[in-house]
Structure 1
Amino acid sequence: MSPRHVVPGFSWHRPMGPREPAEEHRTATVLELFFDLCFVTAVAQAAAALEHEVTAGHTGHGVLGYALVFFAIWWAWMGFTWFASAYDTDDVPYRLLTLVQIAGALAVAAGARDALEHLDFTVITWGYVVMRLAGVAQWLRAAAGDPERRTTCLRYAAGILVVQLGWLGRLALPDDAGLWSFLVLAAAELAVPAWAERHAATTWHPHHIAERYGLFTLIVLGESITAAVATLRGLLDEHALGDLLPVGVGGLLTVFSLWWLYFLRTEPKRLGSLAAALRWGYGHYAVFASAAAVGAGFALAAEHAGHGEHSEAPDLTTAAVFTVPVAVYVLVVRLLQRDPEPPGLLDGLWGAGVLAVLAVTFAPSPVLATGLVLAALVVAVVAVTHRRARAAAVRGGA
């Protein structure tokens, strides 16, 4: 069966055949946008719990819990996004199963704080399993509607189902087995797509995937600003604007620059193969997790500026919770965007920016310094890129 073009519009039921990977004007649907907005609730809860743990002086514990919780959020989002790119039918069963996945995401959000503070993954595990089992049902529908990729779809369904049994079994393990069992099961989750797609690749749409990742990055960055502004607003009732201005200006410059750097390159040509797609998709764990952590660090820095005497976190730790995620974000975005070519001037600029952000961890006003560093990086990168584009145009016209 050849891939098909799906006419937009709601239907009671459609056969779940593959979408056309070269379909024109393929954009995110309103259901996908609703999915993202609900999913970002879990992101916000994880970031807020990270901030709480650092404020209480449990930085290492909080960072570990955050990394584990964010894996569940990110991987469930990934599973839905890539499946929808290949098999979105927008019929009643598809919508209902997607709403079940959203309900699971809200359960993950509800359990995020317990997972971070106490490493109690009971609620978050059940929410995650609900999401993934709804995904199994979708893959079984796809197997029935796409004979050419039936084996691929059944591999996805079987692999996901087996791993979910593992997650439920993990709840019965003793506490000292929690971390290693998590890592084993996470590795199994990551292995399922590579195993399934080896038989016959699903027909995901490169432009659609690039847009979906960009939109979720936008939403996470927006949530970061929202969380920080809420903290700043609460502090303004007790402090003069001048006390909080450096944090506010630096935080906004940082988030604006992170947005600009991500959207310097939006073309999906780097998604032309399975290996490239896996690198792109898996690499965004660091992009999403660091972007959300920037919001937590932004809010923590604002709270520290106003109520530093009530925080258990040292000044250096408070600064690092902001600067380190920023540096990780910038580094990973560059690695995902760069073309396969020898290192050059742009690599040097991005690398210098990462090192400068890490260095300002020790500055008197690290948030403001980070914002200024990133603003300078954006100006430099844009100038070099523009100069190269003009030079290429001149050569092309010669």
Structure 2
Amino acid sequence: MSEPSPGASHGSGHVLRRMTARGRDEAHRTATPLELFFDLCFVVAVAQAGRQLVHALAEGHQGTGLIGYLMMFFAIWWAWVNFSWFSSAYDTDDVLYRVVTLVQMAGVLILAAGIPRAFEHGEFTVVWFGYLVMRLALVTQWLRAARSCAGEERRTALLYAVGVSLCQVGWLGLLLLPQHAKPWLFLVMAVVEMSVPAIAEHRHTTGWHPHHIAERYGLFTIIVLGETVSAATVAVQSAVDEHEALGTLLPIAGGGLLIIFAAYWIYFAVPIHLHLASNRQAFLWGYGHYLVFGSAAAIGAGIEVAIEEAVGKAHISTFAASGAVTVATALFMFSVWLIHSRHHKRGLAQQLILPVSAVLVLACTFAGHAAVLLAGVVATATVAVGVTLTSRRAAAERTTDTAEGK
């Protein structure tokens, strides 16, 4: 009797299965409860990174704050990427797979616990140990896949296991080098890390599922936007508590919500899985999400900074506080267009919407305490214009098809 495919027995609770690749054309492939649970752990890590960014910006330490945020968010994002692409190709959902995934989740929580010390003091011991826990579990999964495969597929799995292990050794430099050298090491190691998939899959492509990967990235987008919603909620609460600043805080809260809602609409406006035909498209798209996720989470941090400045708790100017929101929002719009939306835009007008809107949002920085509200209005107008142009084009295409049919 032949062994059923992993997808056929998904959720069946087998103790141990042969870890073979799932089919790229597998029907009805969606995120699993275990993947959703895994993502939940990243809420803690994203919140920690955002909180540290708020403190740094509010104290006027923009340079060190941004560097620390970019480093910590890369660590969070890359840990999530490693798991998500592996699970898209080799999720057997047996007991061993679930246990090893739970170990990875423990590593994520350790990483999150170490973010404040890494951010404030450049002390990466806890972060590195959290990564070690996650990496040991991930290497175990790749070795298990190698044991179940043959030929080029086995070679790819072994290359992943070796590459991930060597990178973890390279990260030891964060514990040994002086403070001024750590950001440069981080930059080098980030490039090395992102080179591992390209090297490992040079001859053989793993069986990641386009629709599943697109859904997983969409779910993580919702997670980071959720953190931004939390920041907007803080704005509303502050507006209620700080009655003397009600007129200043409510526009920030309202503008923040408009930005969040627009960000959701902009990201999910296109069926991106149709674009992910090969590793070339998928890797560029996936790597570009570092900017998408990072800027989305930074919007929430910016809203909190704007609130603190409005009530006199931040040691920065109104212009700087407004820029914390507008720069993050503009970067989100442009990065979503660059790696995501432009592949489905038709015509010059549709292609220009997000880039032009990003520039207009940046211009809102000069609007003082009204900057966040004005940026929210621009973001909302962006959605409205996009929907209108899309509807008109669809109507024109239907009219053309009808005419040709006659």
Q: What is aligned with 1:259?
A: 264
CA shift for structure 1 position 129: 2.3
User: Within 2, Cα distance between the matches of 1:178 and 1:121?
Assistant: 10
2:195 to 191, 196, 200: 191
Identity among equivalent positions (%) equals: 49
Q: What is aligned with 1:298?
A: 303
Count of matched residue positions in the alignment of Structure 1 and Structure 2:
396
One-letter code aligned to 1:30: P
The 1:2/1:162 distance shift into structure 2, 3 A limit, reads farther
Contact 2:353 2:382 in 1 (8 A): yes
The 5 Å alignment of 1:252-331 reads 252-305=257-310, 307-308=311-312, 310-331=313-334
One-letter code aligned to 1:351: P
The 5 Å alignment of 1:76-115 reads 76-115=79-118
CA shift for structure 1 position 243: 3.3
Contact 2:235 2:253 in 1 (8 A): no
Normalised to the residue count of structure 1, the TM-score between the two structures is 0.96
Pairwise CA RMSD of aligned residues?
1.8
2:396 is equivalent to residue 391 of structure 1: yes
CA shift for structure 1 position 341: 8.1
One-letter code aligned to 2:155: T
Q: What is aligned with 1:172?
A: 176
The 1:11/1:230 distance shift into structure 2, 3 A limit, reads farther
Contact 1:232 1:303 in 2 (8 A): no
Structure 1: tracts of 5 or more residues without a match: none
One-letter code aligned to 1:312: H
The 1:72/1:286 distance shift into structure 2, 3 A limit, reads same
One-letter code aligned to 1:143: A
CA shift for structure 1 position 269: 1.3
User: Within 2, Cα distance between the matches of 1:92 and 1:326?
Assistant: 42
Question: The residue matched to 1:6 in structure 2 has which SS?
Answer: helix
User: Within 2, Cα distance between the matches of 1:170 and 1:247?
Assistant: 38
Q: What is aligned with 2:154?
A: 150
User: Within 2, Cα distance between the matches of 1:349 and 1:52?
Assistant: 33
**1:145-202 deviation per Cα after TM superposition (whole angstroms, max 9, x unaligned):** 1224000000000000001011124311222321221111111100000000112000
User: Within 1, Cα distance between the matches of 2:344 and 2:26?
Assistant: 27
Contact 2:288 2:335 in 1 (8 A): yes
Q: What is aligned with 1:34?
A: 37
Q: What is aligned with 1:59?
A: 62
CA shift for structure 1 position 224: 1.1
2:249 is equivalent to residue 222 of structure 1: no
Q: What is aligned with 1:374?
A: 379
User: Within 1, Cα distance between the matches of 2:238 and 2:354?
Assistant: 35
Q: What is aligned with 1:344?
A: 348
User: Within 2, Cα distance between the matches of 1:205 and 1:88?
Assistant: 11
User: Within 2, Cα distance between the matches of 1:133 and 1:300?
Assistant: 38
One-letter code aligned to 1:393: R
Question: The residue matched to 1:363 in structure 2 has which SS?
Answer: helix
Contact 1:139 1:156 in 2 (8 A): yes
User: Within 2, Cα distance between the matches of 1:97 and 1:158?
Assistant: 18
Contact 1:38 1:106 in 2 (8 A): yes
CA shift for structure 1 position 7: 2.3
CA shift for structure 1 position 3: 7.4
Question: The residue matched to 1:20 in structure 2 has which SS?
Answer: coil
Greater mean alpha carbon deviation, residues 385-394 or residues 252-261: 385-394
